[in-house]
Amino acid sequence: MGDLLGVAVLGAGHMGADHIRRLDRVVSSARVAAVADPETDRAKEAAAGIDGVSVHAEPAAALDAPGVQAVLIASPGPAHEEALLAAFERGLPVLCEKPMTPDSAGALRVVEAEARLGRRLAQLGFMRRYDAEYMRLKSLLDSGRLGRPLMLHCTHRNVASPSHFTTPMLINSSVSHEIDAARWLLDEELTAVTVLRPRPSSNAPEGLLDPQFVLFETSGGTLVDVEIFVNSGFGYQVRCEAVCEGGSARIGDGHTMVVTTGGRAGEEVDQDYLVRFAEAYDREVQSWVDATRQGRVTGPSVWDGYAAAAVAEAGVRALESGVGQYVDLAVRPQAYEPTRRRTHDPRARS
């Protein structure tokens, strides 16, 4: 046990329980040392059978538990700021699920707190950066083989939304993945956003504006459109097509086994992100554990978490006002290197 990285997991719900299983059974060189959830029965159930783990109702008690050397935050978004600041106070490395915070002011406080430490401690849980298909698309775009990107067309469909889901969460929880993926794929900031919506689906809970169509403009003049539909009822579908000057590339078509029988051919459609992105989560957590054991922090930063929060906030303003909105981005502290820029002319709005 001594050699394994002792991790406290905060939140033992859908995602937290899956990360606990992953740390316990999939990832090497780590162990679950503590679990915290105000619903202690949930924490006990997720921690059942794990040697040497302690269970707590209070997150702070888990951070201070014996053997804890790092923290994985999988509580709901509104609890992340307090948990991140508590980890920073203790000098504990963190992997924090998205969204970093639901609002940009809270996200900026996190950025400033980490910048004051003078070193990175946190990695953000934007797992698409660890997905094999997204990594292939990123390498292709970076290689320049397709020329300058002009447009990204993205689709993000869930089968059904959880009962606590609100209309702004379509943007600040679900589309936050496309916001991060677009910034990462393009090496550009998202500068403006417009949100349109068709009539709400009758499959959506009463009052939830679902689906939505979100259009981003970038600092480099690329357009990114996202169909977000969290009560599609028919499948978990995440697609991204990059259209460039010299060709296009699309990921997310989900080619699995094709079964032909009775005169029909069919493929299974994933129903859940835990299935579609299983390997990405494994790679993300393994990479965090490996880097942490070497005293390094890699992957998406708190600045990426802040940028996603600021873009999402503009998206919610656009949704509520019906008018396109610019993104207000703070000045990036020196500690966070600018993303690499492509060489074409920037065409940001004046």
Ligand X SMILES: O=C1[C@@H](O)[C@H](O)[C@@H](O)[C@H](O)[C@H]1O
**d(C-alpha 260, C-alpha 266), whole Å:** 6
Sheet with 237-244, strands from edge to edge, namely 247-251, 237-244, 149-157, 223-229, 212-218, 190-196, 325-326
Q: Is 158 in the site for ligand X (CB under 6 A)?
A: yes
> Contact letters (x/-) for ligand X, 4-43, by CB under 6 A?
----------------------------------------
Which of 67, 125, 149, 300 touches ligand NAI by CB under 6 A? 125
Q: Is 168 in the site for ligand NAI (CB under 6 A)?
A: no
Q: Is 173 in the site for ligand X (CB under 6 A)?
A: yes
> Contact letters (x/-) for ligand X, 227-266, by CB under 6 A?
---x------------------------------------
> Which pair of tokens denotes residue 332?
């990036």
Q: Which residues of 150-173 are buried (b: 16+ CB within 10 A; e: fewer)?
A: eebbbbbbbbebeeebebbbbbbb
- Looking at 74-82, 133-141, 264-272, 303-311, which segment touches ligand NAI (CB under 6 A)? 74-82
Q: Is 12 in the site for ligand NAI (CB under 6 A)?
A: yes
Quick one: 32 exposed, middle or buried, by C-beta within 10 A (0-12, 13-18, 19+)? buried
- Residue (of 156, 223, 219) closest to 194 by Cα position: 223
Q: For residues 24 and 178, which CB has a smaller minimum distance to ligand X in the complex? A: 178
Output the residue with the shortest Cβ distance to ligand NAI: 13
- Residue (of 343, 247, 305) closest to 105 by Cα position: 305
**d(C-alpha 208, C-alpha 197), whole Å:** 12
Which of 98, 120, 183, 342 touches ligand NAI by CB under 6 A? 98
Look at the chain and count its residues.
350
Output the residue with the shortest Cβ distance to ligand X: 174
Can you give the binding site for ligand NAI, defined by CB under 6 A?
Answer: 10-16, 36-39, 42, 59, 74-77, 79, 97-98, 125, 127, 173, 273
